[in-house]
Structure 1
Amino acid sequence: MPSIIQLCRDLRKRQTPAENLLWNLLRDRALMGKKFLRQHPVCIRSALGRYEYYIPDFYCAEARLVIEADGPIHLLKKQYDKNRDAVLKELGLTILRFENREIEENMNAVLNKITEYL
């Protein structure tokens, strides 16, 4: 089983076109001077004492913001996403979700929503 670090690296290598578009506008503190990380693990300790990881598409620690670019696979894992969002919200994080199509076709609206939050 690969380490969480290796899994994150693999996800970064296989990002979707929508993730790539958004990343190019978030990286290097390009949006409001905020530092975003992509495919960065967020670790929690479960009630059973085990460590579990969630890997948001984009994460800004300073703003406590998670941004998700949802492609077709998310149609098959709605319950997982709902549970994951609940756990991340319990950590005090805000989650903004955008469909890949929305990112590709209406980037200005996506950036406006992110900017409004920031």
Structure 2
Amino acid sequence: MNEGADEAPLPGGERGWGEGGIRHRAPAGHTHRARSLRHEATDAERKFWGAVRAGRLNGWKFRRQVPIGRYIVDFACPAGRLIVELDGSQHAEQRLYDAARTHFLQSQGYRVMRFWNNEFLTNFEGAMSMVSHALTPHHPLPNPSPLQGEGL
């Protein structure tokens, strides 16, 4: 393989991962594992993907089953620096692992949102509203209007 081939930008200077993209190599085997996870999606993952793919959530682009460091996250919005995890019952048994994983992802500049699969499926609109809100830029209120006769 050509050394540096993965560093060459696409036309227009893009790297193919979107603005703010993930720019590191996944550990050996992660790409294959991520691909197989995409084919074994849960009902909640399929529903979420249908709602966000191709910029359907206010133009925000998501990727699914994304290797980040030694982990594979369910969904990542690189430009919004947001990760959405849809957890099945097995996560109740692995709280310490999930906490370490979340800590690592936060150290990489991501915010992590977690939903239980059943919670997501029974309150889809509420969960999607929370994700949308997390991607909405939060600007402080502008300075109050100047008193009459003062200001500009």
Aligned-residue offset at 1:91: 1.1
Structure 1 residue 39: deviation in Å?
A: 0.1
Residue 92 of structure 2 corresponds to residue 75 of structure 1: yes
Structure 1 residue 68: deviation in Å?
A: 0.2
Conserved 8 A contact 2:106-2:112? yes
Match in the other structure for 1:61: 78
Q: Whose strand proportion is higher, 1 or 2? A: 1
2-side partners of 1:76 and 1:102: how far apart? 17
* 5+ residue gaps, structure 1: 44-52
- The normalised TM-score by structure 1 is 0.88
**Match for residue 21 of structure 1?**
47
* Cα displacement (A) at 1:92: 1.1
* Match among 29, 33, 44 for residue 59 of structure 2: 33
Question: How many angstroms does 1:107 deviate by?
Answer: 0.5
RMSD: 1.0
- Structure 2 unaligned regions, length at least 5: 1-27, 136-152
What SS does the aligned partner of 1:63 have? coil
The C-alpha deviation readout for 1:29-80, integer Å capped at 9, x for no partner, is: 100101100001112xxxxxxxxx2111000000000000011010111110
Q: Contact conserved, 2:30 with 2:72, CA < 8 A, in 1?
A: no
TM-score, normalisation: structure 2: 0.69
Higher RCO (CA 8 Å, separation ≥ 6 residues) = 1
In structure 2, what is the Cα distance between the partners aligned to 1:7 and 1:99?
22
How many residue pairs are counted as aligned between the two chains? 108
2:101 is the alignment partner of 1:84: yes
Alignment pair present for 1:6 and 2:23: no
Higher share in helix: 1
Instruction: Give the letter aligned to residue 107 of structure 1.
Output: F
Q: Percent of aligned pairs with the same residue?
A: 34
Distance in 2 (CA, whole Å) between partners of 1:77 and 1:23 is 24
* Contact kept in structure 1, 2:63 and 2:77, CA below 8 Å: yes
